[in-house]
Structure 1
Amino acid sequence: MTGPTNGRRPRTGHDWRLLKEACTALLPRVPELVDEHLRQLSDHSPVFGRVLPHDVHWREAEEAMRIGIEAISAPRASPRRDLEYAEEAGRRRAQQGLPLDLLIHSYRNAGYLVWDSLLEGVAGRDPEKLAVLMRSATMVWSAVDAQAAVASDAYRATELELRRRTDEQLQALLDALLEGQATPGLAARAAAGLDLPEHGPYAVVVLRVERRDGREAFHRQIQRTGFRFIWRMRTDCEVGVVALRAEEGLDGLARLLDGRCPGPGGISPVVGGLADLGHARRLAELALRTCPPDATGIVRLDRRMPAALVVSQPELAGRLVADVLGEVLTVEPSDRAVLLETLDTWLDCEGSAGRAAARLYCHRNTVFNRLRRLEQLTSRSLTRPRDLVEVALALEAHRLSGAP
């Protein structure tokens, strides 16, 4: 209960004295009113009993009701203890997890009990004074509304703060998992907080941050597909944890992301649970590193293993390029570009000169001639498997270096 929000009092001093007399007479009955109040709340919703221990609830309700009754008839300049208590109660109920609608209902219910008791007390002692007391109704119910409003505002502010703290805690747990921390119980706590299974198929997606526009639309679009994504933005990339659907796995994830990502990205292999996200994140980053500088698509590490080997050993990759393609890189730039494009296309066409010629808009004999020149420059034979592996890896290393 609370006093009026705007300082209004009954119309006359006689009215105020009658209200004060009625409130003073009601104070000894507060324990009885609190018992009835808690009984009615319990009948209204079992949540009160689950959230608030009865003895604690009784003490708090008794204090609130007593402060409210005293505030109704307090002098105009009196400190607003009722509103201070309502603010504290609103914060407390948010922390305890009582739904806001039940908090407001509890104030309304207490208001009805106190007002009815005030009327009954006056009517029993002097029915003629009942009409005088009724003139105080607007003031009393304004007081109840003010108290409920203050408690509600405090509740909402506390709820937002609690949600912010919870979000920060969950983000810290997710970051710890993605960093590969081996803290005991970390995966279990993250599973409970993020509402994810601790064990099950997961993958990590790492997207290169090149522009921010379009990302919100991208996130909304993929969240409607049935996959569960949790994203973390970092300085130069965006990391997504994906709870995979067993029936689709990486194939379904790759189809979903293909053409939708606002930049190049890498997908890790499947891991068995939250505890493995750190390993998955490193592999997804490695997959992303296999994308050339001008790439826009998303790649899977399990489909880019040769390139991953190359980028994971940059010093050896540089030596491989120099050893295998050194002579090729000395020829005139336009000729070099034609030779390397022909080799890349031929490899992509699984060694078919005819298919490569169709893509390159030239005769198949032209493809053969260019490949023979490459064999001469590299001192490797494309018909020998070991030499072919070296040439293919060297070409991949050169392309990923961004060199012309």
Structure 2
Amino acid sequence: MGARGRRTGHDWKLLAESCTALLERLPELVDEHMRQLVEHSPVYGECLPYDQQWREAQDAMRIGIETISAPRDSPRRDLEYAEDAGRRRAQQGLPLELLVHAYRSAGYLVWDALLEGVAGREPERLGVLMRSATMVWAAVDAQATAATEAYRATETELRRRTDERLQALLDALLEGQEAPGLAARAAAGLDLPERGPYAVVVLRSERREPFRRPVEGEGLRFVWRMRADCEVGVVALAAGQGLDGVARALDGRCSGPGGISPVVAGLAELGRARRLAELALRTCPPDASAVVRLDQRMPTALVVSQPELAGRLVADVFGSLLVLEPADRAVLLETLDAWLFCEGSAGRAAGRLYCHRNTVFNRLRRLEQLTSRSLARPRDLIEMTLALDAYRLAGSFAPAAPTLPVTTGGCAPRPPLSR
């Protein structure tokens, strides 16, 4: 980094004498250096106390002047000091361009002072300085480079530590910890309001396609956190904004499945929101690809939140179906699922199933007989709907192949709920 140039013993002696004379003027040079820096940018004066900057500038300039006349193979103390200075300035928050400017400015000041000391009076010494110009500026460049590299390395490390600290704060909030001041520290670090509408999104990690994170927009801001089995997003909403914008932002950007929590009132409630988003995710069947909202899946959420009761519900309602042949059972449950999706319309369900509406009626009647329940009674309908959700979420429900259209003679029997 900036090897010293070749020079004769006589040249070295004259250069050393010039540098020694310059060191006697060091306080004067430092004063001028500090004046020029503050004139260039007031940030120099705001970064740290003037006395401390003055002492550090004095050390840097003294070591730099001594380096100019030091033996060729002596240790590069100037580079060691530049690295230390780069680390300090990164920790103090001085912009990198101002650090580099300070080294360049000091280099010009020292060089001009060397020339002024001999100009017009000692032509021989002036010639020595001119032959040493390349070496002097190579040394200044090497110092600036060493300071820059140390600055950037320190800045990267500080950013990593800051990221880890913020991630730890975010994790603590998502876990529902209630340490004093936790929400306030997280709000300051993440640049988010401590109070305000938030939602949490939980995406299952076993996605089949890469997740394209939603862009900022519609008054939304996303902060994402990777976990071992899922990806969690904290969503800051604009005042009065609901979840429709969140769903739109996620639509088409991930293959799912995922869950969206209800809106909560601040960072301190992210733990509860995360648990509710996970509950929404659990309402998605194993092969689902949608990102769903808990407020639109409440009945199913009640089922999955009580797995033991859900199992008993399936056994009680669908017990007779479970002994049927798998294909036969799948046809009946697929028909019930289509009929419920079509809001009790046998005609629309038949269109989804590629069969005649009378076929739908016959299958539903058989389902009522096997379950000893009537789809016309609200309580029975609720039980069968929840049992179907529990059965589907257990991974046992696989729709059967579409059935060919069927034509039956005569009048179709009246369905339990016909539209």
Q: Which residue of 2 is the match for residue 24 of structure 1? A: 20
Deviations 1:193-237 (A, max 9, x none): 11112122111111111147523xx12xx1254532221111111
Q: Which residue of 2 is the match for residue 6 of structure 1? A: 3
Cα distance in 2, alignment partners of residues 211 and 164 from structure 1? 28
Whether 2:356 is the aligned partner of 1:363: answer yes
1:283 aligned counterpart, secondary structure? helix
Q: Which residue of 1 is the match for residue 34 of structure 2? A: 38
1:184 aligned counterpart, secondary structure? coil
Cα distance in 1, alignment partners of residues 128 and 253 from structure 2? 72
- Deviation (angstroms), 1:170: 1.0
Cα distance in 1, alignment partners of residues 382 and 24 from structure 2? 94
Q: In 2 relative to 1, CA 212–174 (structure 1 residues): closer, same or farther, beyond 3 Å?
A: farther
Q: Which residue of 1 is the match for residue 247 of structure 2? A: 254
1:239 aligned counterpart, secondary structure? strand
- Deviation (angstroms), 1:78: 2.0
Q: In 2 relative to 1, CA 109–244 (structure 1 residues): closer, same or farther, beyond 3 Å?
A: same
Q: For 2:164, which of 159, 168, 179 is the aligned residue?
A: 168
Q: Which one is further off, 237-246 or 163-172?
A: 237-246
Q: For 2:106, which of 104, 110, 115 is the aligned residue?
A: 110
Alignment length (residue pairs): 396
More helix by share: 1
Q: For 1:223, which of 192, 215, 228 is the aligned residue?
A: 215
Cα distance in 1, alignment partners of residues 289 and 340 from structure 2? 21
Does 1 or 2 have the higher relative contact order (CA < 8 Å, sep 6+)? 1
Q: Which residue of 2 is the match for residue 294 of structure 1? A: 287
Q: In 2 relative to 1, CA 247–261 (structure 1 residues): closer, same or farther, beyond 3 Å?
A: farther
- Deviation (angstroms), 1:107: 0.4
Q: For 2:89, which of 72, 76, 93 is the aligned residue?
A: 93
- Deviation (angstroms), 1:325: 0.9
Give the 5 Å matches for 1:115-194. Answer: 115-123=111-119, 125-194=121-190
Deviations 1:108-164 (A, max 9, x none): 100111111111112265355323322111111111111111111111111111111
Name the amino acid aligned to 1:223: V
- Identity value in percent: 78
- Deviation (angstroms), 1:65: 0.7
Q: For 1:380, which of 373, 377, 383 is the aligned residue?
A: 373
- Normalised by the length of structure 2, the TM-score is 0.91
1:205 aligned counterpart, secondary structure? strand
Cα distance in 2, alignment partners of residues 246 and 353 from structure 1? 43
1:143 aligned counterpart, secondary structure? helix
Gaps of 5+ in 1: none
Whether 2:233 is the aligned partner of 1:236: answer no
Contact 1:259-1:297 within 8 A present in 2 as well: no
Q: Which residue of 1 is the match for residue 299 of structure 2? A: 306
Name the amino acid aligned to 1:294: D
Q: For 1:351, which of 323, 344, 352 is the aligned residue?
A: 344
Cα distance in 2, alignment partners of residues 60 and 24 from structure 1? 20
Name the amino acid aligned to 2:306: Q
Contact 2:5-2:132 within 8 A present in 1 as well: no
Cα distance in 2, alignment partners of residues 158 and 109 from structure 1? 23
- Normalised by the length of structure 1, the TM-score is 0.94
